[in-house]
Amino acid sequence: MSELRVPVDLSTAGSVLLVSCYELGHQPFAVASAWAELENAGLGVAGADAAIVQPSDDAIARARLVAISVPMHTALRLGVAIARRVRVVNPTAHVCFFGLYASLNATYLRGDIADSVIGGEFEAALVELALGLGSATDAPPPTKLDAPKPILRRLAFHVPRRDGLPPLEKYARLLGPARGEERLVGYVEASRGCLHRCRHCPITPVYDGRFFVVPREIVLADAKQQIEAGARHITFGDPDFLNGPGHSMAIAQALHAAHPEITFDITAKVEHILKHRERFPELARLGCIFVVSAVESLSSRVLEELAKGHTRADVTLALAITREAGVALRPSLVAFTPWTTLADYVELCDFIFEQGLVDHVDPIQLAIRLLVPPGSALLSDGKPPPWLGPLEASEFGYAWAHPDPAMDRMHVEVNQIVETAAERKEDALETFRRIRAAAYQAAGRVLPDDSHETLRALVPKLTEPWFCCAEPSTVQLAQVTSNSLGQKLEQR
């Protein structure tokens, strides 16, 4: 049944409310990019980052469209709580979820949580939606689609609008490269999507091997405005900085030429580190101080199941390449999968110690458990794997149990160790030692003597320790539901 609609002037400030939930401790790029596109179309926009300060009831009440950014699993968990609040404060508002995890969870969201879902390249679609909501009285409300296809068309980008967001001081900082040094951090994207189809990656079912470059001048202008706001380090948030190496390297060169004092970090696949090994000395010269790489596992079985495209030996070689260039490698992991054995887990712990990676890997990485969202490429074979459980739509993924119950018990124990360590601000070495001891005990093996001096390194890293595919912590969930969050931040 269609609702009676009246003309709405969406040029009024706040008629569109953009809400970010969580972007790994960065000032939210997705909201800033959408904000610029909407304002360029003459629409009135207000924005909020609920990871810092909740949107006020007044801002929600004024909004005709509330668009919630969910580029990752944690953000979606938090975003649903915000959407339910919008339904109470402003029942007539149109609620839209946009971003990677909106597409994957479209069927569930399109129940009583969201009115529309936008995945893929979202900016232009948000403008179309907002303009549609402000059209003539006889226009029907937007049609609900159970599984809208991701939008994969090249966009005309605008420089992200950041001045309405909380200042960089409220976000994660870089620790290093000098001991005791902290730097404000900016965030840009030189490309979106990915050429590769890793089977567990949420980008794969949305972009299916496609990627889009952001024009060089847009990236550099976005970096410049954050540098002028105090950033001294830039994170390139591309899923893989080396998908288009010519484009990316040109941006890095121009950034260094304009701002030679600025450092940066990138993300790159292990196989790209090997393929483009000759570029890493230049990256170091241009200011790259660390590279995040989705190592995921050392197990050949796990790497094959995930279609990672590298081997354990490749990981060792990638470490040698980056070390020789003077760029720290920070591996990300999926430590618990249906194929991981206790022996694999012990080997991973040993590798971290033996390779001197204790300060390169945040302890949370050893607690990451595979997420299987709706539409995952892991399920593309058509036949459900024996370890797969039912879809738990409200948890945004399929339940699964490890064939070896000891691995599931191990995950619970490691998760508890990591959460407790984070609360205590425990040194990473102590946390890793406790995790390694638990792994050896679970495997029924004698823990080697690790009382000797362990190789430590001063590794630049961000102060935000959580990982995009991890479950949100109780602290993060409390940030969304607590009305006094802003006051808490001021008291830090």
Q: What is the mean pLDDT of the chain?
A: 88
pLDDT at position 383, please? Answer: 86
* Statement to judge: residues 321 and 452 lie in one domain: yes
* Statement to judge: residues 235 and 325 lie in one domain: yes
Contacts by 180-185 with C-beta closer than 8 Å and gap 24+?
Answer: 182/463, 183/231, 183/232, 183/233, 183/263, 184/229, 184/230, 184/231, 184/232, 184/233, 185/26, 185/231, 185/232, 185/233, 185/234, 185/235, 185/462
**Residue 472's pLDDT band (cuts 50, 70, 90):** low
**Using omega within 30 degrees of 0 as the cis cutoff, is the peptide bond preceding 338 cis?**
no
**Of the candidates 133, 163, 192, which is a domain's last residue?**
133
Coil, helix or strand at residue 464: coil
Whether 284 is in a domain gets the answer yes
User: Whole-angstrom Cα distance, residue 436 to residue 352?
Assistant: 10
Cβ atoms within 10 Å, residue 190: 27
* Statement to judge: residues 271 and 127 lie in one domain: no
Digit-coded pLDDT (tens) for 136-146:
444 444 444 33
Digit-coded pLDDT (tens) for 349-364:
999 999 999 999 999 8
For residue 292, give the CATH number of its domain: 3.80.30.20
Q: In the chain, pLDDT over 70 holds for what percent of residues?
A: 88
What's the DSSP call for residue 454? P
- Taking the alpha carbons at both ends of the chain, their separation in whole angstroms is 50
Coil, helix or strand at residue 171: coil
Asked whether the beta carbons of 127 and 38 are under 8 A apart, the reply is yes
Arithmetic mean of pLDDT, 304-327: 98
User: Whole-angstrom Cα distance, residue 12 to residue 46?
Assistant: 10
Digit-coded pLDDT (tens) for 98-138:
999 999 999 999 988 999 999 999 999 999 999 988 754 44
What's the domain count of the chain?
A: 2
User: Whole-angstrom Cα distance, residue 20 to residue 75?
Assistant: 8
Cα–chain center distance at 8: 35
Residue range(s) defining the domain that contains residue 105: 16-133
Q: Which two three-digit tokens encode residue 465?
A: 């320790």
Whether 37 is in a domain gets the answer yes
Whether 157 is in a domain gets the answer no
**Residue 9's pLDDT band (cuts 50, 70, 90):** low
CA distances from 373 to 109, 196, 305, 401 (A): 13, 18, 16, 15
Beta carbons within 8 Å of 490's beta carbon, 6+ residues apart: none
Neighbouring-strand partners of residue 187:
235
Residue found by looking up tokens 């197990």 in the block? 299
Whether 9 is in a domain gets the answer no
Whether 470 is in a domain gets the answer no
pLDDT at position 467, please? Answer: 56
Digit-coded pLDDT (tens) for 15-40:
999 999 989 899 999 999 999 999 99
Whether 489 is in a domain gets the answer no
